[in-house]
Amino acid sequence: MNGEPDFLKSSNEVDLSRNPRVPHLIEMMRSVSKATDPDEAYEIFASTMRKVFPSIALITLSTSGLEPGQFRLLQQVDHLGEIQVHRPVLGDSVLQEPVRSGGFLGQMIARQRPQLFHGVDVPQDPAMGEFLAPYHSVMAAPIYLEGDVTHWGVLLDRRKESFSEEQLEHFVLRVNLMGSTLQTIMTAQDLRHAVDLNKTEIERIASIQRALLPSSPPEIPGVEIDISYETFDQAGGDIYVVREICSEEEGPAPVGCWSVVVGDVSGHGPAATVIMGIVDALLISYPHADWSPSPVLEYLNERLCEKRIEGSFVTAIVGVYDAIKHQFTYGLAGHPPLLRQRQGGNGTVSVDRYDVGGIPLGVMPGVKYPQETIDLSPGDTLALYTDGITESRAPDGKFFGVEGLQKAMEECQGDVYCVVESVMEILKKHERGGRPQDDQTLLAMQLVDNATG
């Protein structure tokens, strides 16, 4: 290896091929590392111990939560390998096993330390009956979990002086290594169960969230709407709402005004989804007749400050579209600017930004939010979006930015669907296959040529 001397060949290697125990121990550790159930892992350990120590009997006891000298019998295998008792080693089911006390095992475990006995003679045991009668050597090791003795491993042999002190040392290490491994497997099992349960709950939350969002864009006379909505996780913290808030009769079709809201709860996941639901409920229950951006934002801000949403905040754009005047009045609360795409007479496209507003909602009470009104012309497209789009990063860390969104909107001169498709396609190219780090919402609305008025 790069001209180095062969250190291994020049050393005196001990030949382990004649040691029958080493392969069994290696296979045991390999198999235990793949086990997903503590009883499966224990059975691997127990069968290996029977191979390493042939013609021995094996007993496993639980002393967790019991008085000194008391135990629950979990595993009992005689010297022929016949399993006479086989119960779970860990878990709540252990508590259902009867408590035994006294006898040879009870007196031994009361000492709370490893022990080695030769010349044992127990023809009839108060707790174990005749099971101990054939065995005259006993080796026992306590198993520690979190500093306390919770289990015992006991080996028995029919010979009077079978086990050595060195074997006891190894047995103490083996059973405690196995005990820690079983506890780790059980913890992993509980964690998987908790993750599955959490996943189910998140799926339910996501389902409720989807129910809060419009199933399809609403129909507004003279306006086309398209929406792209993607969550970072199963449940997200973005919200978009389009609702009719006033109606008037003019000509053959009813026209009026519609509220248009896009919001973004800080963070993402179930907690953000809950706050998103609160915002939606507040919008529905808004109690005042004046449904315009400034008072609505101030109302939302006061209610969210009262609810103390635990360090979270909400950014939002609240708009009102007047279908008679072809005007869009908006206000921002810490939200990215409103963008308007305008079609030029010579085929050119320009994109302007509008950013009148104040700080995010739920941060500080008493904030006043200004509003501004924009006159729209046929062909104009408004883009309302969340910062999951503008703060999307390329692999080199570069943000997509408002400038990237403006440039993407300039790439399309067609209808509103073209605008959304163009933006999302260019955004995905910017991300280059990377996973977005936030929810991404884009709502585009375009005043079409046949608009009423």
Distance CA 370, CA 295 (A): 9
Same domain? 126 vs 226: no
Same domain? 312 vs 237: yes
For the domain that residue 28 is a member of, what is the CATH number? 3.30.450.40
Same domain? 174 vs 246: no
Half-sphere exposure of 222 (CA within 13 A, CB side): 25
Q: Decide if 300 is inside a domain.
A: yes
Same domain? 299 vs 442: yes
What range defines the domain where residue 410 resides?
A: 213-447
Residue 393 DSSP symbol: B
Q: Which of these, 288, 311, 316, 289, lies nearest to 301 by C-alpha position?
A: 316
Tell me what pLDDT residue 452 has: 44
For the domain that residue 390 is a member of, what is the CATH number? 3.60.40.10
Mean pLDDT by 10 residues, the chain (453 residues): 68 75 77 74 72 80 91 85 70 75 94 94 93 94 88 92 90 82 75 74 66 72 89 74 76 70 84 84 88 94 85 92 93 96 81 94 94 94 93 89 91 84 90 78 86 44
Same domain? 253 vs 381: yes
What is the helix (H) or strand (E) element at residue 77, kind and residue range?
strand 70-77
Query: Whole-model pTM?
Result: 0.62
Total domains, the chain: 2
